[in-house]
Amino acid sequence: MSLFPIFLKLEGRPCLVVGAGAVAESKVKGLLEAGAVVRVVAPRATSVIQQLARDGEVRWLPRAFELEDLEGVFLVVVATSSPELNEHIFREARKRRALCNVVDDPPDCDFYYPSVVRRGDLQIAISSAGHSPALAQRLRKELDRQLETEYAEWLAGLGRVRRGLYRRSMDNSLRHALLHRLASRERFELFLQRRRSRQERGIKAGVGHEG
């Protein structure tokens, strides 16, 4: 069955991470970046997770998992060293209609973590549907080398222009065509040229004022 590609808004949503080792640590960081309300359950935790708990960024419960931990949770990430416990949590999460990911166990996952290329708010996610995370990682590295870092700044500008256009009264088809023209490769190349020209002028101005 084909996967449904989607980007979730997790801001303010309760998420649970079971396990607090190095792998769980990376999942916690990702959830926090998305604005999720994160609770971690594990008898022991990495120093980073402990510090996050002290800073109030996450709530860490230093004990074994209990079924009550799943109540009211929107999303669950399981990263323990016990396959039996991982499977148990997955089954119970499904009963409660919470999305669940058991790390490195594709059959016990409602969703997979993609390999992601980021340029500011621009995200390109790659998934192999669990067949070959190594392939997804290789493709991510290739795209990361190819995609200009300037896309982050350009995208921020496109967002400002889009919001401005939607505040104006104009024909929807005209607005649509304009937005697509502004997002074209040609416009991006023009943006790069202007940016480099500004940088060169700045360098020359700095040299001229030396001494």
* pLDDT tens-digit readout, 167-187: 999 999 999 999 999 999 999
For the chain, domains (ranges, CATH) are 14-113 (3.40.50.720), 114-147 (3.30.160), 151-206 (no CATH)
Q: Tens digits of per-residue pLDDT, 12-45?
A: 999 999 999 999 999 999 999 999 999 999 999 9
Whole-number pLDDT of residue 126: 95
Neighbour-count burial for 158-175, b at 16+ CB within 10 Å, e otherwise: beeeeeeeeeeeeeeeee
Is 49:25 a contact under the CB 8 Å cutoff?
yes
pTM for this model (two decimals): 0.81
φ/ψ bin of 97: left (φ > 0), alpha (ψ from -120 to 50), beta (otherwise): left
* One-letter identity of residue 61: L
Dihedrals φ, ψ of 5, to 5°? -75, 135
